[in-house]
Amino acid sequence: MKRSLLLPWLLLLAICGAAHAEKADSTKPTNIEADQMVYDDVRQVKTFTGNVVLTRGTLLIKAGRVVLTTDQYGYEYAVLYAAPGSLASFRQKRDGGPDLWIEGQAERIEYSEQTEISKLFNRAHIQRMDGKRITDEVNGEFISYDSRAEFYSVNNTASGESKPGAGRITAVIQPKNPPAQPAPPTQPAQPGKDQ
């Protein structure tokens, strides 16, 4: 690999770090609210439309439409579609600390339970948070995240390819240890006053 290509990959790996979703979520029931549901039992496809809110443990998903397909082995494949003029979004607690989160949004989000790969298409954004503080974030037209391998790929086209002149991706990498807040100044003792 050329030296000029190595630095961006190292920066991308630094952004990603460990972003494991909370493992306990996989054992929780999935609750879905929507304006409508259509269930095709033969094809094992459930379609929820209208202000869809899906929760599973710490996972919170919001979208205009969600299509859940179950394969012959019982794995689910989800596709989230944004409502017109907005973005589909997710938020989930990460393992590794008491208040670590990952959030993402895009016009379309695909997730495979079997491969544990998430793909975000068009106006894609992912950020990792420690409490309310954003620790790292990436933006692009396409983001793929493999949670097993802890590997991100961010591209400037929704096809998953990067093409010259198609736009830029952005990444913000915060310092791992944020600067300490200065202590408030102490008042010196005044002579002649009882202490």
| pLDDT tens for each residue of 178-187 | 666 666 667 6
pLDDT band at 189 (very low <50, low <70, confident <90, very high): low
Q: Note the pLDDT of residue 108.
A: 97
Q: Which stretch, 25-29, 141-145, 150-154, 169-173, has highest mean pLDDT?
A: 141-145
Going by pLDDT thresholds of 50, 70 and 90, the confidence category of residue 68 is very high
Say what the pTM is: 0.74
Calculate mean pLDDT across residues 12-32.
59
Handedness of CA 62, 22, 103, 108 (dihedral sign): negative
For residues 107 and 121, give the distance between their C-alpha atoms in angstroms, rounded to a whole number: 6
- Would you say how long the chain is, in residues? 195
pLDDT at 190 over 50: yes
Amino acid type, 97: G
Lowest mean pLDDT among 31-40, 136-145, 172-181: 172-181
Q: Round the average pLDDT of the chain to a whole number and report it.
A: 81
Q: Answer yes or no: is pLDDT of 3 > 50.
A: no
The DSSP letter of residue 180 is P
pLDDT at res. 2? 36
According to DSSP H, which parts of the chain are helical? 3-16
Q: Dump pLDDT digits (tens) for 85-140.
A: 999 999 888 877 788 888 999 999 998 888 888 899 999 999 988 888 888 899 99
Query: Using CA atoms, how far apart are residues 103 and 87, in angstroms rounded to an integer?
Result: 12
Give 27's pLDDT tier (boundaries 50, 70, 90): confident
- Tell me if 108 sits within 8 A of 145, measured CB to CB: no
Mean pLDDT of 142-165: 84
